[in-house]
Structure 1
Amino acid sequence: MWLHLLAFIAVFLLGPPLSWYRSQFFKAVLAVFFFALSLGFLAYPDASLGATWLWTFVAVFVASQGLPRVAALAAVGSLAGGALLINLAQGAGNANAYSQAVTIASVGLMMMAFSRQLATIRELRQTQHELAELAVREERSRVARDMHDILGHSLTVIAVKAELAGRLLPIDPGKAAAEIADLEDLARGALEDVRATVGGYRGVNVLSELANARTALAAAGIDAELPGAADAVPATSRELFGWVLREGVTNVIRHGGAGRCRVTLSARQLQVDDDGVGPRTPEPGTGAGGSGLKGLGERAAAAGATLEVGRSELGGFRLRLTL
C-alpha cells in the first residue's frame, strides 16, 4: 500500500510539470515510461483498487499530454484494455473491472481534450504576441513613411519660397515679405502635419493636393498643367491619389530640373509627367529607388494598385498610379 501511495505522490508531483516541457521527444519518452509503469502496477498482485485507479489516472494524463493524438488514443485504449484484462484475470468482479476500464477511457479522453485546449491557448497567445509585434512594426513603418512624404513636400516648398524671397528682397521687398509670410504659414502647417502623423490622424486628399501642387509649382517657376477637379476619382481612392500626387510634384521640384509638369487624372489612374532629366532607368518599372517612392509602392500595394516609374513622353520623369 505504501509503495503505491509513494509512487502516486511522485508521479502526481513530477509527472505533470515534466510533461509541460516543450520538447516533444522528452514528453513522448516520459509518457512511454509512465505508461509502462502503470501497466506494471496494474499487474501487481497486491494492488488495491483505489491505488490502481489513482496511478492509472495520472498515467493517462501524462500519456495524453505527451503523445500525438493517435498515440495517445492507443495509450488510453491500452490502459483501459489492460486494466480490464488484469482485473478479470485476478478475479475482480465484472462490474468493477468494466467500471474501471470505462473510467480510465473516459478520463483519458477528457485529458486529451483538455491538453488540446491548453495547446490551443498557447498557440493563441503566441499569435497575439506576433500580431502585437507586427502592429508595432507597421506603425513604425507608417510614421516613417508619412514623415517622409509630409516633411519632404513641405520642406521642399519652404526651400523654394525661401529662395524666391531672397531673390525678391532687393528688387521688391513687398513681394518678398509676402513670400516670407507664406513661409511662416507653411512651417506652422508642417508642424501640425507632424503632430497629426504621430497621433495617427493625418489625412491627405487629392483635391487639397491639387491646390498645393499648383502653389508649389508656381513658386518653383514650373509651368503646371493640372486638372481643375477630381470628381472622377472614387472617394475611397482620393487619399492614395493625394499621396501619389504630393510625392510626384515634390520629385518634380526637387530632383527633375523641369520647366513643365503635367498631371492627368481619371477614375482609375493618376499620372505625373515632367520635361526634366528623367529617371535613372529609361524603361518603366516598379519598385524604384528612394524612400519616398518605396513608401508610395507600399501604399499602392496595400490598396491593390500598381505604381510605375519611367520616362515621360515629355522627356523627363513619369510617375503613374493605376488602380
Structure 2
Amino acid sequence: MDDDRPTRLDRLGPFFASIWLFFLLNPLLEAWAHLDEVRGVVGLVATVAFAASYMTLWIRARADRRRLIDTPSVRFAASYLSPLVVLTAVMVATLGEQGLTGVVYVAVSCVMVLPGRAALAVVVALVVGALALSAVEDWGSQVGLAFAVMASSVAISGMRTVMRRNLELLRIEQENAHLAVENERTRFARDLHDILGHSLTVITVKAELAQRLLDIDPARARTELADLERLSRDALSDVRHAVAGYRDLTLPGELTRARNALAAAEIEARLPGSADEVPTELRELFAWTVREGVTNVIRHSGAGCCEVVLTPTSAEVRDDGPGRGEAGVPGSGLTGLRERAAAVGATVVTRPLDPGFSLRVVRA
C-alpha cells in the first residue's frame, strides 16, 4: 500500500463497532437491578470487562488485516477468546438468562479470528448449546439465541470473505509493485552498463597510453589527455541524464533503446559498439537522429535489417525495406529533427536505397 495513514473511515471504525455493544445493555440493567447483591456487582464487572475484551479483540484483528494478516496465530486467538468465554460463563452464572447475550459475541469473535472449519465447529456447538438451554427451568425457549448466533456468524463470515479477497488483491498489487521496481532496477543497471561500460574501458586504455607517451611523445600524450577529458565529460553527462530520467536524450541510451526496440520488432540490428568518437556538441542531435530513424524503420519500413552508422560528423540510419522514399509532407518527427540539425549547422538528408531507405544527419 502506498499510504498507510489511517483515513477518516478508519478512525471511525471502532466507533461503529462499539455500536453493537448496545445488546449488552440487558445484562447491564440486570446487574444494576441487583447491585445490592454480590452477584449483581460481579455481573456488572464481568459485563464491562467483556465489552472491553471484545473491543480489544476487534481492534487487534482489524490492525492485523491492515498488515495483510488474514488468520491470526492460535496463540493470539486463544489469548482473546479465552477471556470472552470465561467472562460469558461468569455473566451467565451471576445474571442468569440475560448473561447469555455474551454467547453471540463469542460466536462472532470466533468467526473473526479462527480458521473457517474451526469457527464453524464452534458456532455449531454454540447453537446446539443454546437449544439445549431451552430445558433449563424458567429460561424458556432459546431458539432466538440460536438464530442470533447463526445470523451474526453468517454475516461476519461473509464480511471476512470479502476482506480476505481484498487482502489477496492487496498482496498481488504489492507483489506487482515489487516486481516492477526490481525490473526497473535491472533495466537501469543494464542501461547504465551499456552507457558507461565501453566509455570507461576506452578511458582506461587512453589513460594508460597517455602515461606511456609522456616521455616518448609529449604532443601525442597531450592529444590523448584532451580526448580523455572529453570522453570523461561525455560519460558523466550521460550518467547525469540517465539518473535524472532523461535517458532518451543521450546517444548511448538511444543506441541501447534502439537495440531493444529492433529486437522486439524482430529486425536485425547493426549498431555501433560505442559513441565515443562523436563530438559533445553533436551527441544530443545524433541521439534524436537514432530515435527518429529507428522509430520509422519499425513503423513503416517492413525491413529485415537496420544499420546505424556514426562518424564524428554524421549519423545515419538505413534499412533494407521495400523503399519508402520521402513522404510528400514530412512528419512532425522529421520536421523537428531538421530544426534541431539547423540549430547546430547540420543538415538532414533522406534518400531511397535499392532496397531500403536512408536517414542521414551530417555537419560539414
TM-score by length of 2: 0.44
Q: Which has the higher helix share?
A: 2
Structure number with higher relative contact order (C-alpha < 8 Å, ≥ 6 residues apart): 1
